[in-house]
Amino acid sequence: MENKIERIILSAALILLFSAVISSAYTFSTTNYVNEVAENYGVTKTGYYVTYDIKRAGWYLLPALSSLATISDGGYEPEDYADYFKNIYYADSYKYTFSPFTKKYIKCTRFPNINPLYCPEEEIYNLPDKDIQEGWNSEEFMNDYFAYTAISADWHYYTKPVKVIYTYWPGRFYDIKNTGTSTTINENTGESKTTDVYQIGFFGAKLKSGWNIISFPSYAAFGDITIGECNILRIYGWDDENQNWINLIENSREELVEKLTSGRDDYSGMGMAIKVSEDCTFLKKIGDIPGKNAPPALPNN
């Protein structure tokens, strides 16, 4: 399956080189905001609103429902939420997600009422639903499963114009943290059980060995953030205007990292297919990169 995915991506990517101008069928914009309370949770109190203003029909890679990005309320009043979300959720005719664990595409289906196309978590994480529901409070699940979908992307096929706004909450700019405890009560016995609750943040975002499909998060192009120590074998960006892949590695990994973290919106929000040689952490704070948190040592003699 992986070889088939690779052939599809490579055949499309060979059409264009990185030097080509990446055109877009949507208008992308990033707006930051400040949340003073969030300073207590992570490395920054700045978050981002990311707007995809889609203009024409086609396939688009947008942040997955299984990722850390959330669909914003768009600034609408509560009484207008229903129409707002209905417009978003009903705009896409087809939707697929990609499991980094099985390397397979998963078709998403729609439930009644105003709901997005749903992608079954059991197929994404390749786990029984019971293990997933119990895992949300565990550090092990955060590390071994959710970390690999934290910045994942879903394929949407839109047939009409739509504006979708995502939120990157500032309180999620951390690795893993304990957020307190959770108490559940057994309906049959009445016994209560208290467990620790863990969450994973953007700096815990990981890539599985082989192919991964992500939406490059806007915050990664700003602030003291860089690409982790992943051994990137191949990386392609989705050109929604021409509906094909574009090779993003021109010369070296160093140049790629510089472009991805340049502080511009050139690649923020772009859907990408990334192949890495082994499981790895994709995003790092500058201070976490070896050699970057202190100047070189003095000579020995």
Residue 152 or residue 91, greater confidence: 152
- Asked if pLDDT for residue 2 goes beyond 50, the answer is no
Q: What is the pLDDT of residue 24?
A: 55
User: Tens of pLDDT along 241-287?
Assistant: 889 999 988 767 777 777 777 655 567 778 999 999 999 988 877 66
For 108-125, the DSSP string reads -EE-SSS-PEE--HHHHH
Whole-angstrom CA distances from 164 to 29, 72, 74, 123, 131 are 11, 8, 8, 26, 32
Q: How many CB atoms are located within 10 Å of the residue 267 CB?
A: 19
In this structure, of 37-46, 122-131, 177-186, the range with the lowest mean pLDDT score is 37-46
pLDDT digits (tens, 9 = 90+) for 19-46: 333 445 556 566 666 666 555 554 556 6
Q: In the 8-state DSSP scheme, what is residue 203?
A: G
Residue pair 100/152 in contact (Cβ under 8 Å)? The answer is yes
3-state DSSP assignment of residue 299: coil
**What pLDDT is recorded for position 168?**
76
The larger pLDDT score, comparing residue 220 to residue 254, is at 254
pLDDT in tens, 82-116: 787 888 888 888 899 999 999 999 999 887 765 67
What whole-number distance in Å separates Cα of residue 219 and Cα of residue 150? Answer: 14
State the pLDDT confidence band at 9, using cuts at 50, 70 and 90: very low
List the structure tokens of 80: 């207008």
How far apart are the two ends of the chain, measured CA to CA in Å? 56
pTM given for the model: 0.76
Supply the mean pLDDT for the chain. 75
Q: Who contacts 178 (Cβ-Cβ below 8 Å, separation ≥6)?
A: 139, 196, 197, 198
Q: Which is nearest to 65 in space by CA: 163, 159, 180, 164?
A: 164
Which segment of 161-165, 174-178, 280-284 scores lowest on mean pLDDT?
Answer: 174-178
223: left (phi over 0), alpha (psi -120 to 50) or beta: left
Confidence class of residue 202 from pLDDT cuts 50, 70 and 90? low
Percentage of the residues of the chain whose pLDDT score is greater than 70:
67
Amino acid 20: pLDDT: 33
Q: What is the CA radius of gyration of the chain?
A: 20
